[in-house]
Amino acid sequence: MKQDLIVILDLGSTQNTVVARRIRDLGVYSEIHPHDITAEELEALGNVKGIVLNGGENRVVDGKEVEINPQLYGLGYPMISIDYPQSKTETQFSGVPEDGIWKEFIFEDCKAEANWNMANFIEDQVALIREQVGDRKVLLALSGGVDSSVVAAMLIKAIGSQLVCVHVNHGLMRKDESESVVKVFRDELHANLVYVDATERFLGKLEHVADPEQKRKIIGSEFIRVFEEEARKLEGIDFLGQGTIYPDIIESGTKTAKMVKSHHNVGGLPEDLEFELVEPLKQLFKDEVRACGIELGLPHDMVYRQPFPGPGLGVRCLGAITRERLEAVRESDAILREEFAKAGLDKKVWQYFTVVPDFKSVGMKHNARVFEYMVIIRAINTIDAMTASIEKIDWEVLEHVTNRILAEVEHVNRVCYDMSPKPPSTIEFE
């Protein structure tokens, strides 16, 4: 391993990510692991310099206080504990301590070096991928979003032609998006890319399904089935590469934190999954994924484009998906993106999209009463997608977008702007 590692054990803290970032901000890599990690698993992480026992309000699970594996105390690693009164460590804190304490712990007690940077992270991941994969093949779900693009670049660097990228057009992509994935990856980056148009299959499975979790699960498991079919055609594929990042893992529930919502690339995997996973970004926050992409040499536009959820427009066409409303989401989203780019907002706003609910409201068109759908515009800013604030968009831009949507998108007679931050709202509606 190129870089030193401080391990954070999650003993029910809601501050795991805060602690991880505090340590990384001091230039030392840190990872969050479950409280019941074994001594062997810990040692296998390589270059561990110290351990943070991070307790907190979720310390009690199913009526029992969570405990670390007692073997860990005997391994000789320097330890610090936060909000974990039963620990046997010398240094105990209530609440996340100040930087001075961290510096002393990390650099003096643990003797860690400040060697966390993207070049070292990539070098470590490339070595780990090669060790895991050997001379076998990896199949990657290449949606063209930031996460899967960065994973693709990482895997191309690690294993080159042992990577087969599959782009599944599930019919829930943004306007012209699949075409551009093929252009960039097949034509420009010369990736081994298979393009599958599965629109009818997905829309068929989703017909009349209104429950958000059910929709996500169907899209997620159908995705995996399509990959399995492709893998069988390709022969000899043992691994599935995935662009899972740290916020996906937390929100799908850890051993102490409850589930917020299942993300398609974590919660929706079917149990009969035949692949072993390769997830080189799973310890990174979103902003770190982008830095990793730049370090890997991906174009700026690709790395800084707004994220797009795995289930795509499926979670923005609320309730049971219909083709009519799906088209309304797709067309209004294209208009919003075009106008935001013209106004320079694409560089200022982290994520912006439209949503179409499954109810209608009364309106007037050509002097006649109409009963049609509405489009909701959402524009938010965030650092790591864990919390988000709404963006104050220039009134004239909003008015112009609204007028275009009302004039150009069929079956729509009303446009609204979502004012809600996260929390309590999530970024997506479903």
Where on the chain is the footprint of ligand XMP (CB under 6 A)? Answer: 216, 251, 261, 263-265, 307, 309-311, 351, 385, 422, 426-428
* Residue 264 burial (C-beta neighbours within 10 Å; 0-12, 13-18, 19+): buried
Q: Which is nearer to ligand XMP, 29 or 353 (CB)?
A: 353
Question: In angstroms, rounded to a whole number, what is the distance separating the alpha carbons of residues 80 and 93?
Answer: 8
Helical H runs in 162-273?
177-181, 199-206, 212-234, 246-251
The minimum distance between CB 280 and ligand XMP, in angstroms, equals: 15
Is the CB of 46 or the CB of 307 nearer to ligand XMP? 307
Q: Which is nearer to ligand XMP, 52 or 375 (CB)?
A: 375
Q: How far is the CB of 269 from ligand XMP (least distance, A)?
A: 12
* DSSP string covering 19-85: HHHHHHHTT-EEEEEETT--HHHHHHT-SEEEEEEEE-TT-EETTEE----GGGGGG---EEEES-T
Q: How far is the CB of 313 from ligand XMP (least distance, A)?
A: 11
CA angle 139, 286, 240 (to 5 degrees): 10
Query: Between residues 123 and 384, which has the closer beta carbon with respect to ligand XMP?
Result: 384
Residue with smaller CB distance to ligand XMP, 50 or 310: 310
Within the chain, what is the greatest distance between any pair of CA atoms?
Answer: 80
Query: What is the nearest approach in angstroms of ligand XMP to the Cβ of residue 264?
Result: 4
**Least CB distance from residue 351 to ligand XMP, whole Å?**
5
Work out how close the CB of 140 gets to ligand XMP at its nearest, in angstroms, rounded to a whole number. Answer: 14
Nearer to ligand XMP, 78 or 309 (CB): 309
b/e 219-243 (16+ beta carbons within 10 angstroms → b):
bbbbbbebbbebbeeeeebbbbbbb
